[in-house]
C-alpha cells in the first residue's frame, strides 16, 4: 500500500478538474496508484436502462474491453448497479454475500483476469449516477480496506463538487452562444416539466421570480397561458425558442439538449430541455425610463411599449396574455401618468423616449 507521505493530494487535483479532461484522467490515474489497484474507471450509470451505461475515463482498460462493456457487459454488471443504487456508500465485491449481491458468473468478467474491486457512486440526477470503480487481481486485506475507506470518504465531497462543477462548466459553455453575453440561471426539465437537474445557486434565483412556481420536482409557471405556451414549444421541439413573462420582463429560452454539443457523455439528458432565464431589464432601457420618469408600473410600461409597436388593443392583449380590458386600463393609466390626451400623443412620446 502506498503511504500517505507518497500521496499527491487528490482533493487538490479535483479542484482543478472541471472543464479539463486531462486532469480528470490524472485524478483517476493517481487514485488507482495510491490505492494499489491495476485499473480504474469512471462510468455514467443509467439507473433505468443499464445498456446505456458508458465510460467517461479509464486507467489501464483496453479499448476492446471498453467496447465490449458498452455493447453488452454493462447489462451484466451487477456490482456497478448495486453501488449506483446506494450513493456515497463504499462497497467491496469480496465482502458481499450471495443474498445481497451475486455476480453473473461465466458471463461478466473484469479485464486482464482481475477479480476483485471496490466502488462508490455519486448521484448525477434522478436517472443517472457517476460510478468510481477500481480493480485488481488480489483480494484486499482488512488494513487495505480501512485505508481505502478513509481515502474515499475524504475524497467523495471533492468528487461530488467537481462533478457539479463539470456539469455547470459544460452547460454554461453551451448556453452562452445561444444567449449572447449573459443569463440569470437555468434548469433542465423533461417534456412534462419535471425538473431533472437544477443548480442550487440558480434555483434560488429562479425560485424568486413571480412567474415561476416550483413544487417539489415539478416546474410550473403563472399565468397558465405562459405554461401552456411552454408545453406547446416542447411538444413542437423545433429548436431553440423563447417566451416572455411580459409582466416581469423575464425572457425564458427553451433549448433542446439534443441541439447542444459535447454534452451527452456527462449530462445524460439527451431527450430533455434546458430552460434559461434572462432578465431583460438591461436590454430595454425604455422600460426603466417609463418607470423612473413617469412612475408607470412594469405592466403599464410593457403594455405601452407593445402598443407603440402594434397600436391595437386586441393584438397587445394576445401578445401579453392579458384580457383586452386589462390592456385598455393599462393604456389609460399610462396616458394619464404621461400627461397625454390621445393615443397619437402617447405614440409620439413613446417613440421619442425609446429613441433616447
- Per DSSP, the three-state class of 279 is strand
Of the two residues 207 and 94, the one the predictor is more confident about is 94
Query: Which CATH number applies to 4-162?
Result: 3.30.450.80
What is residue 208's predicted lDDT score, i.e. its pLDDT? 76
Of the two residues 284 and 158, the one the predictor is more confident about is 158
CATH architecture of 285-354: Orthogonal Bundle (1.10)
The answer as to CATH 3.40.600 being correct for domain 182-279 is: no
Query: Is the pLDDT at 2 greater than 50, yes or no?
Result: no
Q: Domain map of the chain by residue range?
A: 4-162, 182-279, 285-354
Query: Is the pLDDT at 103 greater than 80, yes or no?
Result: no
- Per DSSP, the three-state class of 112 is helix
Query: Is the pLDDT at 117 greater than 90, yes or no?
Result: yes
Query: Is the pLDDT at 172 greater than 90, yes or no?
Result: no
pLDDT band at 100 (very low <50, low <70, confident <90, very high): very low
**What average pLDDT does this structure show over 118-125?**
90
Cell triple for 111: 479485464
Query: Is the pLDDT at 353 greater than 60, yes or no?
Result: yes
Query: Is the pLDDT at 66 greater than 90, yes or no?
Result: yes
What is residue 125's predicted lDDT score, i.e. its pLDDT? 72
Per-residue pLDDT tens for 289-344? Answer: 788 888 888 778 888 888 888 888 888 877 666 778 888 998 999 999 999 988 88
Of the two residues 320 and 62, the one the predictor is more confident about is 62
Domains 182-279 and 285-354 share a fold: no
Place of cell 423545433: 238
Of the two residues 112 and 269, the one the predictor is more confident about is 112
Cell triple for 74: 454493462
CA–centroid distance for 18 within its chain: 14
- Residue 248, C-beta contacts closer than 8 angstroms, at least 6 positions apart: 209, 210, 211, 298
Query: Is the pLDDT at 181 greater than 70, yes or no?
Result: no
Between the CA of residue 132 and those of 79, 204, 343, what are the distances in Å?
A: 11, 30, 67
- Residue 58, C-beta contacts closer than 8 angstroms, at least 6 positions apart: 28, 39, 40, 41, 42, 66
Looking at the chain, how many residues does it have? 356
On whether the pTM is more than 0.75, the answer is no
Query: Is the pLDDT at 263 greater than 60, yes or no?
Result: no
- Residue 238, C-beta contacts closer than 8 angstroms, at least 6 positions apart: none
**What average pLDDT does this structure show over 231-247?**
73
What is residue 106's predicted lDDT score, i.e. its pLDDT? 53
Q: Please report, rounded to a whole number, the percentage of residues in the chain having pLDDT higher than 90.
A: 37
What is residue 202's predicted lDDT score, i.e. its pLDDT? 76
Query: Is the pLDDT at 16 greater than 90, yes or no?
Result: yes
Q: How far apart are CA 356 and CA 342, in angstroms?
A: 22
Q: Tell me the average pLDDT of the chain.
A: 83
Cα angle, residue 232 at apex, residues 226 and 238 outer, rounded to 5°: 125
What is residue 290's predicted lDDT score, i.e. its pLDDT? 84
Between the CA of residue 171 and those of 10, 24, 61, 119, 255, what are the distances in Å?
A: 25, 18, 28, 27, 11
| Maximal CA-CA distance, the chain | 90
Q: Which helix (H) or strand (E) holds 307?
A: helix 298-309
**What average pLDDT does this structure show over 22-39?**
96
Amino acid at each position: 500500500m502506498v503511504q500517505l507521505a507518497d500521496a499527491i493530494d487528490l482533493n487538490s487535483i479535483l479542484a482543478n478538474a472541471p472543464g479539463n479532461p486531462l486532469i480528470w484522467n490524472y485524478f483517476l490515474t493517481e487514485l488507482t496508484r495510491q490505492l494499489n489497484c491495476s485499473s480504474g474507471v469512471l462510468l455514467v450509470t443509467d439507473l433505468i436502462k443499464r445498456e446505456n451505461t458508458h465510460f467517461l475515463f479509464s486507467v489501464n482498460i483496453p479499448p476492446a474491453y471498453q467496447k465490449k462493456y458498452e455493447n453488452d457487459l454493462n447489462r451484466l454488471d451487477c456490482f456497478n448497479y448495486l453501488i449506483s443504487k446506494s450513493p456515497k456508500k463504499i462497497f467491496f465485491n469480496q465482502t458481499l454475500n450471495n443474498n445481497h449481491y451475486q455476480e453473473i458468473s461465466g458471463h461478466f468478467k473484469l479485464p486482464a483476469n482481475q477479480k476483485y474491486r471496490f466502488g462508490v457512486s455519486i448521484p448525477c440526477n434522478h436517472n443517472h449516477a457517476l460510478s468510481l470503480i477500481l480493480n485488481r487481481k488480489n483480494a484486499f486485506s482488512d488494513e487495505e480496506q480501512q485505508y481505502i475507506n478513509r481515502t474515499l470518504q475524504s475524497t467523495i465531497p471533492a468528487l461530488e463538487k467537481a462533478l457539479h462543477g463539470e456539469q455547470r462548466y459544460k452547460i454554461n459553455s453551451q448556453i452562452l452562444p445561444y444567449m449572447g453575453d449573459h443569463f440569470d440561471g437555468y434548469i433542465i426539465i423533461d417534456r412534462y416539466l419535471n425538473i431533472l437537474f437544477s443548480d442550487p445557486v440558480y434555483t434560488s434565483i429562479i425560485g424568486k421570480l413571480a412567474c415561476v412556481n416550483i413544487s417539489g420536482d415539478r416546474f410550473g409557471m403563472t399565468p397558465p397561458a405562459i405554461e401552456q405556451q411552454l408545453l406547446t414549444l416542447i411538444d413542437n421541439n423545433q429548436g431553440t425558442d423563447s417566451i416572455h413573462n411580459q409582466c416581469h420582463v423575464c425572457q425564458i429560452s427553451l433549448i433542446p439538449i439534443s441541439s447542444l454539443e459535447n454534452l451527452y457523455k456527462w449530462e445524460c439528458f439527451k431527450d430533455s430541455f434546458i430552460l434559461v432565464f434572462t432578465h431583460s431589464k438591461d436590454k430595454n432601457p425604455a422600460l426603466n425610463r417609463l418607470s423612473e420618469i413617469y412612475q408607470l408600473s412594469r405592466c403599464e410600461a410593457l403594455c405601452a411599449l407593445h402598443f407603440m409597436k402594434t397600436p391595437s388593443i386586441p393584438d397587445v392583449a394576445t401578445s401579453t396574455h392579458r384580457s383586452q380590458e386589462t390592456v385598455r386600463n393599462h393604456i389609460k393609466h399610462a396616458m394619464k401618468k404621461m400627461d397625454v390626451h390621445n393615443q397619437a400623443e402617447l405614440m409620439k412620446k413613446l417613440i421619442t423616449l425609446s429613441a433616447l
